[in-house]
Structure 1
Amino acid sequence: MNQFVNRIDELDRLQTLYESGAAELAIVYGRRQIGKSELIRQSIADRDDAVYYQAVQGTATTQLRRFVEAAATTYPDITAVKEEWEPLLAYLVDRDAIIVIDEFPYLIESNEGLPSIIQHLWDTAVDESQATLVLTGSAIGMIHTHVLDGGAPLYGRVSQTPNGRLELTQLPFRSIQEFVPTYTPEERVFVYGVFGGTPRYLSPLDPAQSFGENITRLLCDPDGPLHDEPETVLQMELTEVNTYFSLLESMASGNHSRNEIAQGAGIESTNTSYYFDRLETLQIIEKHHPALADPARSKRTRYQIRDPVFRFYFRYLYGRGGQYELYGENAYADLIEPELPDFVSETFESLCHQAVPALYTDYQLTQVPSQWWYKSREIDVVAPTDESTLIAGEAKFTNTPLGYDVLADLEDDVSHIDWTPTGGGEPTYEFALFSRSGFNRSVEEAADERDDLRLFDLSDIVAVLESRVDP
């Protein structure tokens, strides 16, 4: 399948920049395999004024030579220009070209002065031009250092209207339909829970195969196209990979606090700050604070692996090759399938967070729905409103109907939340239960009798997310 799925807004923004009638600078960034190159190629597919250069690691001389070769396919006379970045780029700017430098950080590695050269060009030579310069990068830290952060040579030069800063993230859940159109809503949740929203990981899915067959072929098979993907990506970005792998394996096993993760990895927690910061910068992990907490002040922090494929790899595959050889063709059924509901439950909870605004349209939420925890207490879904109401819910992705005990525990836990409504006074509560497998009769009867309790099954959540149009 074509990897270009559901990037309509980003494509429209780029094409608006190309046609703005003024000089524009755009930066397209995001972690590896997220679809940056495909987006750019689609945006210039039918144009005869575009130069596309895919940078690679190499010497400054090699980079210049390859850039001229790429540009000459559209502008043959550029071969007569002196092979230095400023005159080459100035030549193209004078011709109102669209100039794409894919993986710009590779050029910076061989020429640290290049961002300053572009800055000088942009400040002195583009007033009468309609050129567009598009820079892309997977090395997110370098993109911030040289383009986005205050003090960076190109800071303030990225176009503002329309916004030339495009950060590509994972595709939303609704995109899964386009990769596996014959799968049921529940199967699509499983797909998103394992493969996430990275186009390169979704494209090899075969809708004619079962979910288990796809996992076996793509992930479990040692020759599968995604089997070693997380390890390969990390080795391209990191040194001391064994330390990072140990931390990620600990995280994937269910540890979330920094101390728990370090202990699980056999590392002193005082020695982990650098590693956590690096993994965050690369968007491999993310940290969370409890709902209602001030992130700048809260000391309660949890970490989790952002990409489900990475989480799957470090939970089920990393260091377990011999085990899979022993089980052979039964490895998926015996080692993975029984645990999958628990593994996917993290994604299901996230989907419930995303669905809350559409399910509670009578309320104006003041924070993005998220998880709340304190000591041994935990609530899966908490969303404050601009009135006196706090929405609180539990999300269960189990094989059995959700029982009344879950509701009772939720009501008890809510009483321990410290929250004062915006207008003061005592809070009121709306309770929500989200379930993969329905509800016990006692829960359904309670919902019939109460105005403050609503029940949502998996089909409700999928329906609102697949019909949702993001702003």
Structure 2
Amino acid sequence: MIGRTKEQEELNRIYERKQTDLVVIYGRRRVGKTYLVNNTFKGRYAFHHTGLSPVNESGKAVTLKDQLESFYLSLQMYGMKKGARPTSWLEAFFMLKKLLTEKDDGSKQVVFIDELPWMDTKKSRFITAFEEFYNGWCNERGNVMLIVCGSANSWIQNKLINNKGGLYNRITHKIKLLPFTLKECEEYFLSQNIQFSRYDITQSYMVFGGVPYYLGYMDGRLSLAQNIDRILFDENPMLKGEYENLFTSAFDKPTKTKEIVEFLFGRNLGYTRSEISEKFSDISGSELNKILSALEESDFLIKYIPFSDGKREEKYRLSDPYCLTYLYFIKGQKKKESFWQYNVNSSTLNTWRGLAFENVCYRHYPQIKKALEINGVEANMSMWIKEKNDDSEGTQIDLLIDRADNVVNLCELKFYSGEFSVDSSYEEKMRTRDRLIMEKISRKKVVRNTLVTTYGLKKNAYSGIFTNVITMEALFDC
């Protein structure tokens, strides 16, 4: 298994504990939550069940009866004798208690319930039964490791992690599974005998992010451009319907959540909560908080405070690479087979690469800190934009690192096919920007211009404007 070393170590450590534990694993859809648990506990389950998708193959909502029937069949798979089918979740979990009691030999019993949120159909009283199963039975046993996960992060957050009822403070461990880093993507491709340069791996990350499920569609016989067309732009693309499924399967209010995502797409630097609230005035404040929290926990957006903003109001910026790619190139566009191959060197893709590389850098902020040798320094990541007015030109800082050791790194993020070159006009633009930012920071701080780019900086009369240069190689550091 690629990556996930820390997560596996944590799960095995919990397994060895001589007590009952409730483990919640959450993260973005398709990130590999089920794969992690199955590869860690394969052959060690006392019981394993996966909830049915909320919508069946006919497009109809799955009922409580359907979910109970599926649960009953899983009980039989793990040794329960045939009998009357459960008619409620209280009865279904009672059957699970009996099964586990019969199988109990004193060793740790691993119970894995996948896609738990899907089992909570309307008026099913599922949470009541689940609470009673864990609080009233598992805790008394002292040897149960109950692992739950699911794609519906909003449900996980609201019903489990932030539960104020019977499950309050009952979760003993939370594991958020993140998408792969660039280095893990490289390791995955090598494990599949797929030969891509780091330049192309970075571009694949711009399109798909580090989502293992999406990377699994890559064909080593094809170039990256051919793979992107096959997965996204063919007549019948491999990820057909995935964008809609991201919302219907993972969020309590899929339509409104999707509308918020598409609103955030409209501005690269993002929007404040008040701006989002004004746009979606039909959503209550508490509901908006839940949606934004679920999007953040699903790694769809990042939250930051704009530098030197007197209001200190957080902004929300769309950051999921797949969503950004879909909204940039596919939504509302006519079908364009072989689109990526035809446009691989076009201005359209070059402009997009510049924006998408910024997102790669934000997602590899720890690697940038490591390259600057400031891992142990408290620092805040931010962005800054100064609008153009009658007195001055507008300017923007892609990534600003405000450090506790009295240094502010102003990072230029540039995706180039070769070395980046600075000319006199660019140098003057940066010096003007430096003066503007110096007006906003404490006199005890110094500014260091930092270049984050693919292949480094071309030395010339103006290249000294950059104090630090970080190449693409550093982003592949663990």
The TM-score normalised by the length of structure 1 is: 0.80
Instruction: Tell whether the 8 Å contact from 1:103 to 1:136 is kept in structure 2 after alignment.
Output: yes
Instruction: Tell whether the 8 Å contact from 1:28 to 1:166 is kept in structure 2 after alignment.
Output: yes
Paired residue for 1:73, among 77, 89, 100? Answer: 77
Instruction: Tell whether the 8 Å contact from 2:399 to 2:411 is kept in structure 1 after alignment.
Output: yes
Give, in angstroms, the shift of residue 362 of structure 1. Answer: 5.6
Give structure 2 stretches of 5+ with no counterpart.
Answer: 55-61, 388-393
The superposition leaves residues 293-322 of structure 1 with CA deviations (integer Å, 9 ceiling, x where unpaired) of 689x52362x43332111111111112124
Q: Partner of 1:381 in structure 2?
A: 399
Determine if the alignment matches structure 1 residue 99 to structure 2 residue 114.
no
Distance in 1, Cα, partners of 2:461 & 2:165: 57
Give, in angstroms, the shift of residue 216 of structure 1. Answer: 0.8
SS of the residue 1:395 aligns to: strand
Distance in 1, Cα, partners of 2:253 & 2:69: 34
SS of the residue 1:127 aligns to: helix
Give structure 1 stretches of 5+ with no counterpart.
Answer: none
Q: Partner of 2:421 in structure 1?
A: 402
The superposition leaves residues 245-277 of structure 1 with CA deviations (integer Å, 9 ceiling, x where unpaired) of 666556546554449xx99xxx98354766975
Give, in angstroms, the shift of residue 53 of structure 1. Answer: 0.5
Mark the CA change 1:106 to 1:342 in structure 2 (over 3 Å): closer, same or farther. Answer: same
Distance in 1, Cα, partners of 2:180 & 2:372: 24
Give, in angstroms, the shift of residue 218 of structure 1. Answer: 0.7
Which AA in structure 2 matches 1:409? K
Q: Partner of 1:176 in structure 2?
A: 185
Give, in angstroms, the shift of residue 112 of structure 1. Answer: 4.8
Distance in 2, Cα, partners of 1:82 & 1:246: 39
Instruction: Tell whether the 8 Å contact from 2:71 to 2:92 is kept in structure 1 after alignment.
Output: no
Determine if the alignment matches structure 1 residue 122 to structure 2 residue 141.
no
Distance in 2, Cα, partners of 1:67 & 1:199: 28
Mark the CA change 1:73 to 1:242 in structure 2 (over 3 Å): closer, same or farther. Answer: closer
Query: What do you get for the CA RMSD once the two structures are aligned?
Result: 3.7
Mark the CA change 1:396 to 1:385 in structure 2 (over 3 Å): closer, same or farther. Answer: same
Which segment drifts farther, 212-221 or 11-20? 11-20
Determine if the alignment matches structure 1 residue 321 to structure 2 residue 334.
yes
Give, in angstroms, the shift of residue 412 of structure 1. Answer: 3.2
How many aligned positions are there? Answer: 442
Give, in angstroms, the shift of residue 230 of structure 1. Answer: 0.9
Distance in 2, Cα, partners of 1:111 & 1:14: 33
Give, in angstroms, the shift of residue 239 of structure 1. Answer: 9.4
Q: Partner of 2:174 in structure 1?
A: 165
Q: Partner of 1:419 in structure 2?
A: 441
Which segment drifts farther, 283-292 or 331-340? 331-340
Distance in 2, Cα, partners of 1:416 & 1:92: 69
Distance in 2, Cα, partners of 1:360 & 1:314: 34
Among all aligned residue pairs of Structure 1 and Structure 2, give the percentage whose two residues are the same amino acid: 18
Mark the CA change 1:335 to 1:28 in structure 2 (over 3 Å): closer, same or farther. Answer: same
Give, in angstroms, the shift of residue 171 of structure 1. Answer: 1.4
SS of the residue 1:413 aligns to: helix
Paired residue for 2:51, among 55, 65, 87? Answer: 55
Determine if the alignment matches structure 1 residue 347 to structure 2 residue 347.
no
Determine if the alignment matches structure 1 residue 13 to structure 2 residue 28.
no
Instruction: Tell whether the 8 Å contact from 1:436 to 1:457 is kept in structure 2 after alignment.
Output: yes
Mark the CA change 1:348 to 1:444 in structure 2 (over 3 Å): closer, same or farther. Answer: farther
SS of the residue 1:189 aligns to: helix
Which AA in structure 2 matches 1:76? M
Which segment drifts farther, 38-47 or 56-65? 56-65
Mark the CA change 1:325 to 1:124 in structure 2 (over 3 Å): closer, same or farther. Answer: closer
Mark the CA change 1:23 to 1:348 in structure 2 (over 3 Å): closer, same or farther. Answer: closer
Distance in 2, Cα, partners of 1:252 & 1:392: 24
Instruction: Tell whether the 8 Å contact from 1:23 to 1:129 is kept in structure 2 after alignment.
Output: yes
Q: Partner of 2:58 in structure 1?
A: none
SS of the residue 1:230 aligns to: helix
Mark the CA change 1:385 to 1:345 in structure 2 (over 3 Å): closer, same or farther. Answer: same
SS of the residue 1:416 aligns to: helix
Mark the CA change 1:437 to 1:272 in structure 2 (over 3 Å): closer, same or farther. Answer: farther
Give, in angstroms, the shift of residue 285 of structure 1. Answer: 3.9
Q: Partner of 1:23 in structure 2?
A: 20
Paired residue for 1:457, among 468, 471, 477? Answer: 471
Which AA in structure 1 matches 2:147? V
Mark the CA change 1:389 to 1:340 in structure 2 (over 3 Å): closer, same or farther. Answer: closer
Give, in angstroms, the shift of residue 236 of structure 1. Answer: 4.3
Which segment drifts farther, 195-204 or 219-228? 219-228
Q: Partner of 2:40 in structure 1?
A: 43
Q: Partner of 1:298 in structure 2?
A: 312
Distance in 2, Cα, partners of 1:326 & 1:205: 16
Distance in 1, Cα, partners of 2:257 & 2:169: 34
Distance in 2, Cα, partners of 1:397 & 1:329: 19
Mark the CA change 1:276 to 1:398 in structure 2 (over 3 Å): closer, same or farther. Answer: farther
Instruction: Tell whether the 8 Å contact from 2:270 to 2:318 is kept in structure 1 after alignment.
Output: no
The TM-score normalised by the length of structure 2 is: 0.79
Which AA in structure 1 matches 2:372? Y
Distance in 2, Cα, partners of 1:241 & 1:111: 20
Give the 5 Å matches for 1:146-295. 146-159=159-172, 164-181=173-190, 182-236=195-249, 248-249=261-262, 251-252=264-265, 254-258=267-271, 269=279, 271=281, 278=291, 281-282=294-295, 283=298, 285-290=300-305, 292=307
Q: Partner of 2:152 in structure 1?
A: 139
Instruction: Tell whether the 8 Å contact from 2:421 to 2:463 is kept in structure 1 after alignment.
Output: no
Give, in angstroms, the shift of residue 232 of structure 1. Answer: 3.1
Mark the CA change 1:321 to 1:232 in structure 2 (over 3 Å): closer, same or farther. Answer: farther
Instruction: Tell whether the 8 Å contact from 1:115 to 1:154 is kept in structure 2 after alignment.
Output: no
Which AA in structure 1 matches 2:444? E
SS of the residue 2:184 aligns to: helix
Q: Partner of 2:57 in structure 1?
A: none
Give, in angstroms, the shift of residue 291 of structure 1. Answer: 5.3
